[in-house]
């Protein structure tokens, strides 16, 4: 059996005045071929052998239990030896049974992988045998390794994925997918990691990047479409007010990559918080800010929001060949479990969902429990994605996401890979304190488990 191999692909690092900027390609998993077989050994009952006397009959009964076929020949031989020795009046000599070959154990989770089957040419599926995960995707699906070599803690997601078992195929078909090593346009270096000295310079950089993308897009296409996330990001975007004169805000369309199901006036509303913090000051036309209808049941709210997006002309919101919307910019925060938008680890919403752009989320591990979210496919169809994380509390997850390839779905942020566009990570020194970009070119430093932490 060949297992999965962690592979770091090429990367390079450059330093700018206020930030260390590392451009790196995505890492991928290379797997060997051939399905993993549960190596139980075949069990069989001993063939019937006639007993010559009561002693031999007892030996036969002892042997007539289920036993690995590899040992049965030896036992038959032992019985035959006893019979022969007794007949010759000699004490029986027991023949040592041959030692069963020890199965070579590979560290978890490699033994849980089976063969990747490329069904579409662009997608790899993990095919998991029924005997291996009889109760669905295991809770330790977050089987990424910590720097210590330990398996990372169980994901906080409460619900197991139930509906991925395909009864006709007698196997679990894992719904998450990887992209092939190369992007659609054939280039490899599509992501960069920018580390800023502190949160203030990070926020300034987030606003600069936003404004420059807006100007670029308006100059090229006459509009700028952006989808925002909530959380601490909203405060970081306040600095856009200082860039009010730089951008023609009347041509800006704002969407929510995810939103909590509540009224705009509710303290939980991302859109409400952003309006108060900066949106209302920028002069974006009312009709260009697309908010959700928080009074609807969550599934209807998702459908209605998707409907709003679908109604926009293709001049404003063009589509990919796969009929996915192409946003000019998606700005994501990241939770401590590596969730982005409201796409939480090991949840059904993360699965490929080609028919829908926006999904309802119930029982969200992060409160409030009902939300809507754009799909990972929509995020990955954007022209540019910004992934922003700040603070010491994010250091460990940033390190895991950037330096350890996990099982797909365990760390949603690892699935952010714009197909045509660019991914820019924007971090502050604290959230980047556990990563070691200077070793990203060093093949010997992979896998990461033994890499010493950067000196402070
Ligand atoms: O909860 C939301 O509304 C989100 O959109 C969510 O994805 C958020 O961006 C991350 O949880 C990071 O939040 P923090 O930056 O506050 O940690």
Name residue 126's beta-bridge partners.
116
Task: Look at ligand 1, atom 4, and give the residue with the nearest C-alpha.
Answer: 230
236 is written with which tokens?
């970081």
Name residue 192's beta-bridge partners.
23, 424
| Residue 17 is assigned to a structural domain of this protein | no
The backbone torsions φ and ψ at residue 279, rounded to the nearest 5 degrees and listed phi first, read -60, -45
| Residue 69 is assigned to a structural domain of this protein | no
Pocket of ligand 1 contains residue 333 by CB under 6 Å: yes
Buried b (16+ CB within 10 A) or exposed e, 146-184: ebeeeebeebbbeeebeebbeeeeebbebbbbbbeeebe
Q: Tell me which residue has tokens 């977050």.
A: 142
Nearest to 335 by CA among 196, 152, 155: 155
| Residue 153 is assigned to a structural domain of this protein | no
* 331: CATH: 3.40.50.1360
Task: Look at ligand 1, atom 2, and give the residue with the nearest C-alpha.
Answer: 230
The backbone torsions φ and ψ at residue 355, rounded to the nearest 5 degrees and listed phi first, read -85, -20
CA atoms in the 13 A half-sphere facing the CB of 44 = 11
Pocket of ligand 1 contains residue 325 by CB under 6 Å: no
Question: Mind listing the pLDDT tens digit of every residue in the chain (456 residues)?
Answer: 233 222 233 333 332 323 333 333 333 222 222 222 222 222 222 222 233 344 444 433 333 333 334 444 555 665 565 555 555 555 556 677 777 666 544 332 322 233 233 333 333 333 333 333 333 333 333 334 444 444 444 333 333 333 333 344 333 333 333 333 444 444 445 677 888 989 999 999 999 999 999 999 999 999 999 999 999 999 999 999 999 999 999 999 999 999 999 999 999 999 999 999 999 999 999 999 999 999 999 999 999 999 999 999 999 999 999 999 999 999 999 998 889 999 988 788 887 777 899 999 998 888 899 999 999 999 999 999 999 999 999 998 888 888 776 666 778 898 888 888 888 889 999 998 888 777 666 666 655 544 455 555
User: What is the number of helices (H) and of strands (E) in the chain?
Assistant: 9, 19
* Model confidence, pTM: 0.65
Give the count of domains, the chain. Answer: 1
Categorise residue 325: left if φ over 0, alpha if ψ from -120 to 50, beta otherwise: beta
Pocket of ligand 1 contains residue 229 by CB under 6 Å: yes
Q: Give per-residue pLDDT as tens, 222-261.
A: 999 999 999 999 999 999 999 999 999 999 999 999 999 9
The backbone torsions φ and ψ at residue 63, rounded to the nearest 5 degrees and listed phi first, read -80, -20
Q: Which atom of ligand 1 is nearest to the CA of 231?
A: 16
Categorise residue 322: left if φ over 0, alpha if ψ from -120 to 50, beta otherwise: alpha
Distance of CA 199 to the CA centre of its chain: 26
| Residue 210 is assigned to a structural domain of this protein | yes
| CA gap 233, 256 in Å, rounded | 12
Q: Are 178 and 126 in contact (CB under 8 A)?
A: no
The backbone torsions φ and ψ at residue 43, rounded to the nearest 5 degrees and listed phi first, read -100, 140
Nearest to 51 by CA among 39, 60, 40: 60
Name residue 228's beta-bridge partners.
256, 331
| CA gap 380, 171 in Å, rounded | 29
Q: Which atom of ligand 1 is nearest to the CA of 229?
A: 5
User: Ligand 1 center to residue 67 CA distance, Å?
Assistant: 55
| Residue 122 is assigned to a structural domain of this protein | no
User: Ligand 1 center to residue 166 CA distance, Å?
Assistant: 34
Q: Give per-residue pLDDT as tens, 292-349.
A: 999 999 999 999 999 999 999 999 999 999 999 999 999 999 998 889 999 988 788 8
The SS3 call for residue 325 is strand
User: Ligand 1 center to residue 366 CA distance, Å?
Assistant: 9
| Residue 233 is assigned to a structural domain of this protein | yes
What number of other Cβ atoms are within 10 A of residue 359's Cβ? 27
User: Ligand 1 center to residue 259 CA distance, Å?
Assistant: 10
Q: Give per-residue pLDDT as tens, 183-201.
A: 444 444 567 788 898 999 9
| Residue 409 is assigned to a structural domain of this protein | yes
Q: Which domain holds residue 256?
A: 192-432
Pocket of ligand 1 contains residue 233 by CB under 6 Å: yes
Pocket of ligand 1 contains residue 431 by CB under 6 Å: no
Pocket of ligand 1 contains residue 235 by CB under 6 Å: no
368 preceded by a cis bond (ω within 30 of 0) = yes
Pocket of ligand 1 contains residue 199 by CB under 6 Å: no
| Residue 51 is assigned to a structural domain of this protein | no
Q: Which atom of ligand 1 is nearest to the CA of 259?
A: 3
């Amino acid at each position: 059996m060949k297992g999965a191999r962690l592979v770091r692909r090429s990367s390079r690092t450059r330093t700018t005045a206020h930030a260390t900027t590392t451009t790196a390609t995505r890492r991928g998993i290379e797997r060997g071929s051939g399905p993993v077989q549960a190596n139980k050994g075949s069990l069989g009952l001993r063939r019937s052998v006639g007993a010559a006397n009561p002693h031999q009959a007892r030996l036969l009964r002892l042997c007539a239990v289920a036993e690995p076929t590899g040992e049965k020949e030896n036992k038959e031989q032992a019985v035959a030896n006893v019979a022969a020795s007794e007949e010759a009046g000699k004490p029986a000599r027991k023949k040592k049974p041959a030692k069963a070959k020890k199965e070579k154990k590979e560290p978890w989770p490699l033994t849980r992988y089976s063969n990747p089957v490329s069904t579409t040419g662009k997608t790899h599926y993990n095919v998991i045998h029924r005997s291996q995960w009889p109760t669905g995707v295991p809770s330790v699906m977050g089987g990424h390794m910590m720097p210590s070599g330990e398996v990372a803690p169980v994901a906080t997601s409460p619900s197991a994925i139930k509906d991925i078992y395909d009864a006709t195929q007698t196997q679990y078909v894992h719904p998450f997918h990887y992209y092939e090593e190369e992007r659609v346009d054939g280039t490899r270096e599509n992501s960069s990691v920018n580390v800023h000295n502190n949160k203030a310079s990070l926020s300034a950089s987030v606003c600069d990047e936003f404004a420059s993308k807006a100007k670029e897009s308006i100059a090229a296409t006459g509009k700028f479409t952006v989808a925002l996330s909530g959380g601490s990001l909203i405060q970081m975007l306040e600095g856009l007010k200082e860039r009010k004169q730089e951008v023609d805000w009347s041509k800006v369309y704002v969407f929510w990559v995810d939103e909590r199901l509540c009224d705009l006036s509710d303290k939980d509303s991302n859109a409400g918080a952003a309006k108060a913090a900066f949106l209302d000051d920028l002069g974006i036309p009312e009709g260009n800010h697309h908010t959700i209808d928080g009074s609807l049941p969550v599934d209807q709210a998702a459908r209605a929001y998707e409907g709003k997006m679908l109604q926009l002309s293709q001049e404003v919101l063009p589509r990919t060949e796969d009929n996915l919307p192409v946003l000019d910019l998606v700005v994501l925060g990241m939770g401590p479990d590596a969730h982005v938008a409201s796409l939480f680890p090991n949840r059904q919403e993360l699965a490929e969902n080609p028919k829908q752009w926006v999904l309802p989320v119930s029982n969200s591990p992060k409160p409030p429990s009902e939300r809507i979210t754009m799909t990972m496919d929509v995020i990955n169809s954007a022209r540019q994605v910004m992934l922003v994380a700040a603070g010491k509390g994010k250091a460990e997850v940033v390190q895991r996401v950037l330096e350890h390839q996990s099982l797909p779905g365990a760390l949603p942020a690892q699935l952010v890979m714009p197909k045509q566009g660019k991914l820019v990570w924007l971090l502050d020194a604290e959230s980047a304190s556990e990563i070691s970009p200077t070793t990203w070119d060093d093949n010997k430093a992979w896998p990461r488990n033994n890499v010493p932490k950067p000196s402070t």
